[in-house]
Amino acid sequence: MQTLQTTSLRVSENQLFILDQQALPQASRWLEANSVESLVGHIHALRVRGAPLIGLSASLLLALLAERGLTRDALLQALEILRASRPTAVNLMNNLDRMKLALAEEDFVPALVTEALRLIEEDKQLCESIAVAGSELVKPGSRLLTHCNTGGLATAGVGTAIGVIHRAHQQGKIANVWVDETRPLLQGGRLTAWELGELGVPYQLITDSMAASLMAKGEVDAVWVGADRIAANGDVANKIGTYSLAVLAKYHGIPFYVAAPQTTLDSQCPNGDAIPIEQRAASEVTGVAGSFGAVQWAPEDAKVYNPAFDVTPAALISGWVLDTGVVTPEQVAGGIFAIK
């Protein structure tokens, strides 16, 4: 396969490397991801994260494994193991469905390589289209609030919600971005703050519980988030805490926008109740661990509920910003996401 480089993925000398998003922002460290076992481990540990990026990394690995001589049966087994690595984010399933079609071709090795590279280029274009469509909704002087991480770290391109924010900043529309720290693993504090700083976008980091007070003071003009899955009725699964923001935004009369590529749509999923929600380790709540060591602040026997995602009902969403344009609540109510 040709040499390839995105913000978080690298293919060099037929080896796949991922940027360790657990190490950011203190260190920029590239890790090998040359086996199904290693990539699944990176996905579970959130060293690879972001719905689009997870699907793209799995697709690239399959193509590289094919070039190394794995049989069709072995590749199919690898594909299904990768499919099960992240149950909530549907981009992974959609990308692997396309790779499975390529695997069925007679000359499957070049077909897999071509399809994986096509997915990378498509994601770049999807992100650009989302940024263009979404930036038109941002008013001059906007103070925006965002949750989790939705930039180039999570995609092959400029990102989804952060792509919109970056484009709006280039147009001189951004006064400030409120960045939720975002559990699990403080992805907003570690990753979004870092990305916005690199892009020169003015921001302030807040804890997840501070959004309500900012909205009450009139300090938030709109909320922009990404998505891991959009159901046929418009319900959206995204990082835990997104639903809370949507409820708060509705109460305070603030627009709440979801930016995502079409690969995030799941027309086969009727509503949010049908979206599987990943449960994560209790240790992410009871303490913290890193290069500095480990700290336990909760009782050793504390019982923990730690879902990685929640579901925001379509009724709370002002607009779904896709690569095809802005979808309105009226269009969603009319069944636009259920149409194949």
Q: Which residues are catalytic?
A: 228
Residue 52 tokens read as 């689009």
Q: What is the number of other CB atoms lying within 10 angstroms of the CB of residue 37?
A: 11
What whole-number distance in Å separates Cα of residue 213 and Cα of residue 91?
A: 34
What whole-number distance in Å separates Cα of residue 114 and Cα of residue 297?
A: 49
Residue 248 tokens read as 């708060």
Strand, helix or coil at 217? coil
Q: Which of 154, 137, 140 is nearest to 224 (CA)?
A: 137
| Class of residue 231 by CB neighbours under 10 A (exposed 0-12, middle 13-18, buried 19+) | buried
Distances (CA, A) of 242 to 62, 238, 257, 310, 316: 32, 6, 11, 7, 11
Which of the 8 DSSP states describes residue 279?
B
Laid out side by side, the sheet with 142-146 consists of 203-206, 174-180, 142-146, 222-225, 256-259, 319-322, 325-327
| Class of residue 264 by CB neighbours under 10 A (exposed 0-12, middle 13-18, buried 19+) | buried
What whole-number distance in Å separates Cα of residue 224 and Cα of residue 193?
A: 15
